Structure 1
Amino acid sequence: MKFQLQSTDPRSGARAGTLTTSHGEIHTPIFMPVGTAGSVKAVHQRELENDIHAEIILGNTYHLYLRPGIELLQKAGGLHKFNGWNKPMLTDSGGYQVYSLGANRKITEACVVFKSHIDGSKHTFSPEGVMDIQRAIGADLIMAFDECTPFPCEYQYAKDSMGLTHRWLKRCVDRFDSTEPLYGYEQSLFPIVQGSTYPDLRKESAEYIANQNQQGNAIGGLSVGEPHEDMYAMTSLVCGILPSDKPRYLMGVGTPENILECIALGIDMFDCVMPTRNARNGMLFTTEGIINIRNEKWKDDLSPIDKALGGYASTFHSKAYLRHLIINKEILGAQIASIHNLTFYLWLVKEARKQIIEGTFASWKDNMVKKVSQRL
């Protein structure tokens, strides 16, 4: 993996770069559609590539481990061959899913024991095991196993959890360094900064992660219910510590406004289920603001969903038609809305990149934040 910065914005921390993997180039800042179980919900791989112009997608270690299972993925030659996606791919570590299981998991120094949300069966994730699972999945970029703290959480819990994440990271690095990729191409390990919303813990964690000298770095434990101001403050602090010559990935973020503000702070990579999850419920993100397509006001609106975006889903179908589909719970409605929202998210980060390179990002961002956050 290689990362090269092309341009930085003179009035903010925004950066435009290129991340090169064995499966192709990723132009940053970038948004990564979430393919939890090996597919981005309601979206075909052909549409991801040709309509949405996605450059990288995510797979979820926890879900893929449970179904279809690591044995089948290895038999297929990895997730790329299993799902037919030939561009870059990233897998999370399963830490967030384990966190979300609540009472159905037990965390110890050695590992996490959890019950499957599918059938209640008992499983174990250790740092070493999670590295092995991600080797078998075969993503280009893989995440260290961490504990994601809830918000709010007590200072001592956040401190103890951060220490555990750091000790687990050492085990992840040792396992990663002592094993080889399974499918003939390179994989890169990203450590994860934790520390909740406590500045001293975030500083300590960012310094520890930076000193691991891995090929990229991630910031976790944000977008878990904390105020946006806290998210921005922690992101700014951490970006001031993580090395500038390596990609920075803010996990699970977020709204279009969040993405623009965090690009300005120096983040390069984002992912979130919001564009597809909200699409299935009729919430559309557009270049002019947010639309609840279920509202009566769109019933007779025969204008395109978002003419400014281009793309089949956004310009071929009318708001009235999409509303009709969503109201009637037609599967096509979820498909059109999901493709549209992802098209918008990819347009947003690519336009941000263009503005960074042209030196006009800061003023463009301030104007765009107002537009994309307003309800139409």
Structure 2
Amino acid sequence: MFYAGKRISAKVIIVIVSPIVAVLVALLVTSTIIRYKRPKTYDVVEIDVEGNNTDFTTVESLQYDLATLRSATNDFSDDSKLGEGGFGGVYKGTLSNGQRIAVKRLSINSSQGLQELKNEVILVAKLQHRNLVRLLGFCFEGQEKLLVYEYMPNKSLDNFLYDPEGQGLLDWGTRYKIIGGIARGMLYLHHDSQLRIIHRDLKASNVLLDDDMNAKISDFGMAKIFVVDQSQGNTSRVVGTYGYMAPEYAMHGNFSNKSDVYSFGVLVLKIISGKRNSAFSESGEAEDLLSYAWKHWRDGTPLEFIDPTIRDSCSIDEVMRCIHIGLLCVQCWSLFLQKRNASKE
């Protein structure tokens, strides 16, 4: 175990900045609770790294007609609404065969365009993994742009994590399982699919939970695809959620799989603490969540960082390891940049 106040050795730093081990370090969280089995690799539709010129006809068999989805959701009634995002609403529905679905409906004023929806269809339809949300189909008819997903009865992680009543339902065992599920999904996206997928918007609201509280990564509208030998990219259009973004990506548009690893680290620390970044704006304890975590780690008081609802019932060894992994993940991006800059000199 690593303790506060001890310096990380040069050997550990070198390992962390390695492109493959950076993600595998996250997978270590689950080493005592899961037996990892390499998922089956699926062929991926030909698509360039910017998500353009896609062969969209390859997924036309997944198309639903609008009348079917209107009937399933009671014409997108407020009673069927599960939530609202920048793109529009998500509605619960039931098909004629009894199957439950979730329908993502793009609003007219949505910042998510048709190309991003097509990108999401192609990605999620082809990337099948137990820790990725399953896309059932789509409907682009008239002004309506809809994506149809498997229904997640427990909605998203943030509905539990930041709700006083919901937090009590997230015991440490459940949180530990969720962290492991996210890590497995990331490992598949970054290394086990034929193309490297950078999600770019990994956050609590994009982690859905099934009946058994298994984590499934969702919302691939902002994802980027790398060819196998590509390790980093740059974009003039920075998308995602501030607070989860790696600094170099937020400021300069530079991203890689380390960007997702950084977001994963932030997410792990939020799962452990049950705190939002905004929780620190008025408390005066620290500037933000990461500063708060580092402060307790350096001061040798990491237990004070843990959500009080689980503090007396969690496994201290597991929590300490998860805190350390979370901190290494957010540090990973800085170490990666140092290594990259040194190679240019």
Report the TM-score when normalising by structure 1.
0.24
Report the TM-score when normalising by structure 2.
0.26
